[in-house]
Amino acid sequence: MRRQVASNLAWMLMERGLQVAGGIGIVAMLARGLGPEGFAHVQYAQAVVYIAASVALICGGEVVIPRLVANTDPVAQHRLVVHAFGLRFGAGVLAYLVICAFMLVTGQGPETWWPALILGTAVLLREPSGIVTAWMQAHTRTRPNAVINVSSLLVKAACVGLLFWFGSQNVTAYATAIAVEPVLAAILLAHFYLSRAPRARVAADPGLARELFSNGTLFWVSFMLMLGSRRVDQLLLKPLVPLSEFGAYAATMQILDNFVTVASILAAGIAPIYVYAQSTLAQARRNILRIAVGMVVIGTTGGMIIATSAHWIIRLLYGSAFASAAELLQLAAMASSLVFADVALTLLPVYMRRPQLVALKWGIVFATTVVVDSIAIPHLGARGAILGYAVANLLAIAFGIAVCLRPLPGTPAAHGAKA
């Protein structure tokens, strides 16, 4: 069993590492191929889709996986998967309509409309097909999902690479190339599951659908606030600064998004043994504080390296057209190191099965980002958005420390690795 768990973790970490490396390469080709303004249009469309996609995150793995583990009957599992898929697909349709409504209300031009409509297809496919990923996790079968995701990523990278090789500057073409990944992944996941699922017909059960919806609502709200806080800065920034400045800021945050992913990878590798497997809240808390200190050191070291190498990184990835992004990257790199501490401290409410604390934290982060950005961006431009990013991260850490140091009654009945 330990060997299987270690193998699954290794495949997951390998996949995440390739996703980070592939993401950096794809963004670099986008920036060089489209230039600052074209890149800005794609990044804005992606920000809109990223936030809207949170609407489709209903009935996540936190709800589905424990139920699949508790009931191993294939027919019962298939029934659960079908109902969860229905909820997710309905939420995906709603998310796509949100994208269209936002683009219409804000009066975006065709250079942003078309990329958003094309990239938005991901919300119709990624989360609904993600129920198969939850099914795999319940059966501790991480390898097939990693292979499917990496294969889809390679196809996307190849499509973007071909456009870049032939010198295309068509924003819509690049958006189509990016959308290939979720389409292919959804097809492969569907084939994998349907070739193994029972052939039994599933009748609609409104009671089960309502139960899945209500049990996942708090996690759903948390995800929407989390994803909203990570991209709302770009929605607020674009109308107030030149496209070139917005493109430079988006390029900066793309680099840091990949950097802070390291924090999630580290937490995923450390938490199952050193946090979730602990039998007492006191021991878990002590370990989390140690993990937080270690991750702060890693985040600060990485942030310093990025800040001192900012000019070289920007020139290597994006070229001279994005030279103004170097100063922004220097400022934001150190603020991003705060995310490492936040990820570590968030392990405690997860261990305690207190999703309401996670939702409250992301609500504070989202509200802080909106308030600070709304005040600072008109005066400081992209630097104001970085200020909002830093202040929000500081408040997230303060919240995590308060939760970690304050005596809280009750401990979970059982602990295990977070799915």
What does the pLDDT look like over 189-228, one tens digit per residue? 999 999 888 887 888 888 888 888 888 788 888 889 998 9
Same domain, 52 and 154: yes
Kindly indicate the confidence band of residue 342, based on its pLDDT and cuts at 50, 70 and 90: very high
Domain-embedded: residue 225 = no
Domain-embedded: residue 278 = yes
With a pLDDT cut of 90, the percent of the chain lying above it is 52
Same domain, 249 and 163: no
Same domain, 261 and 388: yes
pLDDT given for residue 15 in this prediction: 75
Helices (H) and strands (E) in the chain, counts: 15, 0
Same domain, 76 and 154: yes
Domain boundary among 204, 225, 249: 204
How many residues comprise the chain?
Answer: 419
Cα distance between residue 14 and residue 163, in whole Å: 27
pLDDT given for residue 345 in this prediction: 93
Domain boundary among 204, 225, 259: 204
Kindly indicate the confidence band of residue 156, based on its pLDDT and cuts at 50, 70 and 90: very high
Q: Which of 86-95, 267-276, 322-331, 407-416 has the lowest mean pLDDT?
A: 407-416
Please determine, for residue 413, whether its predicted confidence score (pLDDT) is greater than 80. Answer: no
Q: Classify the phi-psi angles of 337: left when phi > 0, otherwise alpha if psi is within -120 to 50, otherwise beta.
A: alpha
Please determine, for residue 414, whether its predicted confidence score (pLDDT) is greater than 70. Answer: no
Same domain, 91 and 163: yes
Please determine, for residue 4, whether its predicted confidence score (pLDDT) is greater than 60. Answer: no
Our measurement of the distance from residue 291's CA atom to the centroid of its chain's CA atoms, rounded to an integer in Å, reads 22
For 404, the domain range is 235-419
Domain-embedded: residue 218 = no
Domain-embedded: residue 53 = yes
Same domain, 258 and 177: no
Q: How far apart are the first and last CA of the chain?
A: 16
**Structure tokens of 295?**
């991750």
The average pLDDT across 263-281 equals 79
Provide the domain count of the chain.
2
Same domain, 256 and 196: no
Please determine, for residue 416, whether its predicted confidence score (pLDDT) is greater than 50. Answer: no
pLDDT given for residue 7 in this prediction: 63
Q: How many CB atoms lie within 10 A of CB 378?
A: 12
Please determine, for residue 44, whether its predicted confidence score (pLDDT) is greater than 90. Answer: yes
Cα distance between residue 351 and residue 354, in whole Å: 8
Q: How many CB atoms lie within 10 A of CB 28?
A: 19
Please determine, for residue 85, whether its predicted confidence score (pLDDT) is greater than 60. Answer: yes
Same domain, 150 and 40: yes
pTM of the model: 0.85
pLDDT given for residue 294 in this prediction: 93
Domain boundary among 186, 204, 222: 204
Please determine, for residue 10, whether its predicted confidence score (pLDDT) is greater than 80. Answer: no
Please determine, for residue 45, whether its predicted confidence score (pLDDT) is greater than 90. Answer: yes
Same domain, 131 and 28: yes
Same domain, 197 and 278: no
Average pLDDT over the chain, rounded to whole?
Answer: 87
pLDDT given for residue 412 in this prediction: 47
Same domain, 286 and 200: no
**Structure tokens of 268?**
């995923």
The average pLDDT across 305-324 equals 92
Instruction: List CB contacts of 25: < 8 A, sequence separation 6 or more.
Output: 157
Domain-embedded: residue 224 = no
Cα distance between residue 50 and residue 77, in whole Å: 30
Domain-embedded: residue 215 = no
352-376 pLDDT per residue, tens: 878 889 889 999 999 999 999 999 9
- Check if the beta carbon of residue 327 is closer than 8 Å to that of residue 382: no
Same domain, 147 and 96: yes
Kindly indicate the confidence band of residue 303, based on its pLDDT and cuts at 50, 70 and 90: very high
Domain-embedded: residue 362 = yes
Residue tagged 């103004």 (tokens): 324
158-184 pLDDT per residue, tens: 999 999 999 999 999 999 999 999 999
Domain-embedded: residue 213 = no
Our measurement of the distance from residue 368's CA atom to the centroid of its chain's CA atoms, rounded to an integer in Å, reads 20
